[in-house]
Amino acid sequence: MPAPMTVTEILDPQCVVVPLVAHTKREAIDALVDALSLTGRISDANAVKKAVWEREQQRSTGIGEGLAIPHGKTSAAHGLCLAVGRLATPIDYDSIDRKPVRLVVLLVSPPERTSDHIQALGRISRLMTNPAFREQVYAAADPLQLLQLFRAAERG
């Protein structure tokens, strides 16, 4: 049986944006999709933005405690793609707990990778349920520090 996937396996360090400057959830999503596009992890930024935004319109991915995990499936993704942004200023994200969002974790995958997509969403959610880890991530000063926090958390 293969080892469980880790967040840092699918997170390109160039797709960690600290601080992420955005004033709306749309701006945050667009900025993270653009980061994926710059690394060549996706072939069509507009198609990815459309897929993620359509999913967001169904139900907000602001899951509470300052976290949003927007996600979408599209053939424009070359495998599982992750981008993380720690917002410069928390934004309203229509979260279930009505708290502003401080961290946005974008997940994009090809339509045929449903199981991996769900596994990655679960992995991110589990890591972020730890209040101490969450606060450290929300305080990350730069992309490297945020990435190191995820690596350390996954090593246990």
Residue 1 has pLDDT above 70, yes or no: no
**Region 116-142: what's the mean pLDDT?**
94
Residue 123 sits in a domain whose CATH number is 3.40.930.10
Is 2 inside any structural domain?
no
Is 72 inside any structural domain?
yes
Is 108 inside any structural domain?
yes
Residue 156 has pLDDT above 80, yes or no: no
Residue ranges making up the domain that contains 89? 7-155
User: Looking at residue 152, what DSSP letter applies?
Assistant: H
- What is the model's pLDDT at position 93? 96
Of 23, 71, 78, 117, the catalytic one is: 71
Helical spans, DSSP H, in 21-142: 25-39, 45-58, 114-128, 131-138
Is 129 inside any structural domain?
yes
Tens of pLDDT, residue by residue over 34-83, are: 999 999 999 999 999 999 999 999 999 999 999 999 999 999 999 999 99
Q: Report the mean per-residue pLDDT for the chain.
A: 94
| Domain tally, the chain | 1
Is 57 inside any structural domain?
yes
User: Looking at residue 105, what DSSP letter applies?
Assistant: E
Is 62 inside any structural domain?
yes
Q: pLDDT-based confidence at 100, cuts 50/70/90?
A: very high
Q: pLDDT-based confidence at 15, cuts 50/70/90?
A: very high
CB count within 10 Å of CB 32 equals 29
**Region 117-129: what's the mean pLDDT?**
93
| pTM for this model (two decimals) | 0.95
Using alpha carbons, list the distances in angstroms from residue 90 to 40, 76, 104, 105.
28, 29, 10, 14
**Region 115-141: what's the mean pLDDT?**
94
71 given a catalytic annotation: yes
- What is the model's pLDDT at position 6? 87
Residue 2 has pLDDT above 60, yes or no: no
**What is the rounded distance in angstroms from the CA atom of residue 119 to the CA atom of residue 82?**
13
